[in-house]
Amino acid sequence: MASTDITSKATGKSDDLAGLEAGLDALDAVQTHRTPIREILVKKVLPPVLAVSLVLLVWQILVATHVTEETKLPPLSAVWNSLSDMWVKGTLLEVIWTSVSRGLLGFLLALAIGTPLGLLVARVKFVRAAIGPILQGLQSLPSVAWVPPAVLWFGLNDAMMYTVILLGAVPSIANGLVSGIDQIPPLYLRAGRTLGATGLRGARHIVMPAALPGYLAGLKQGWAFSWRSLMAAEIIASSPDLGLGLGQLLENGRNNIDLPGVFLAIILILVVGIAIDLLIFSPVERWVLRSRGLLAKS
């Protein structure tokens, strides 16, 4: 009888343990159900649409009630007319592409320079002691400060534009990678060295994958610096030889006292920056988080 009780107790404990393990496995399991389209629209699309609509509504109310003069805040219809005129003339997409192509090419150049520089600073103590503080200082320096010396060095040409972009974006990308590498658990690095993953092989198979979240944050910030640096360069160093970009469009509106044109340029600059983030960086960020089990699949 005693043996029967012991056996039943052991069986009960094993069942409880199995149930506990099953519960933990269920918590760890990644959800794979697809989110309904309606839920996506309500949670992700509707909030920004409502926010933009609210801003436009307040804008129109301020103009309609004459709270502010049209010389300070143009009517929405005037901004829309400026947009329509550019579209009819065929210059809208050309102006946008001029700035976007410069920004993307400058960002890719900054990526090619900032990535190995960040690896070097993160992995070599002497280089970190020598260059690390300089990179931090350069990142905090407003990129607009580089426009005057860049004009003196290269004149009013694309080389000047790309120089300003690089000086604004490279420190951000390098510092983002350094931060990501600093957050790698030492166990990963020791395990990699034990398996022979040192030097470039270790950087490729251990360091870069483990530092990817921090590196990606640096890339997003690097793009923001690239875009802001480009706009500063286009506004300050505008020239017919450089072609008409969004920054030049903004400066031309100021020179011509064309307030609707100024607001149109500001809106286009904002829309392009948001579009690049939504189309490129947000999908990559979701993929990284999902691959690490930090985001449920939908």
Question: What one-character DSSP code corresponds to residue 119?
Answer: H
**How far, rounded to the nearest angstrom, does the alpha carbon of residue 267 sit from its chain's CA centroid?**
18
pLDDT for res 107: 92
| b/e sequence 121-142, b meaning 16+ C-beta within 10 Å | bbbeeeebeebbeebeebbeee
> Would the pTM of this model clear 0.75, i.e. be above it?
yes
Enumerate residue ranges in the chain where pLDDT < 50. Answer: 1-3, 6-10, 24, 26-27, 29-32
pLDDT for res 269: 93
pLDDT for res 280: 86
Q: To which residue do tokens 């929405």 refer? A: 76
Alpha-carbon distances of 51 from 25, 44, 56, 58, rounded to whole Å: 40, 12, 9, 11
Phi-psi map region of 66: left, alpha, beta (phi>0 left; psi -120 to 50 alpha):
left
Amino acid, res. 119: L
Residues whose CB is less than 8 angstroms from the CB of residue 89 and which lie 6 or more positions away in sequence, other chains included: none
Distance CA(163)–CA(159), nearest Å, equals: 6
Alpha-carbon distances of 213 from 147, 154, 224, rounded to whole Å: 32, 36, 17
pLDDT for res 17: 54
| pLDDT tens figures, 268-291 | 999 998 888 888 888 887 887 777
Rounded to the nearest 10 degrees, the angle between the axes of helix 76-89 and helix 259-276 is 70
Alpha-carbon distances of 74 from 84, 153, 164, 198, rounded to whole Å: 16, 39, 32, 61
| pLDDT tens figures, 110-146 | 999 998 998 888 888 888 888 888 888 888 888 888 8
pLDDT for res 166: 92
Distance CA(147)–CA(235), nearest Å, equals: 10
Domains belonging to the chain, first-starting first, are 76-291 (1.10.3720.10)
Structure-block tokens of residue 25: 């496995």
Please, is 57 exposed, middle or buried when counting C-beta atoms within 10 Å of its C-beta (0-12, 13-18, 19+)?
A: exposed
Phi, psi of 196, deg, nearest 5: 90, 10
The alpha-carbon radius of gyration of the chain (Å, integer) is 27
Altogether, the residues listed in the chain come to a count of: 298
Distance CA(170)–CA(289), nearest Å, equals: 24
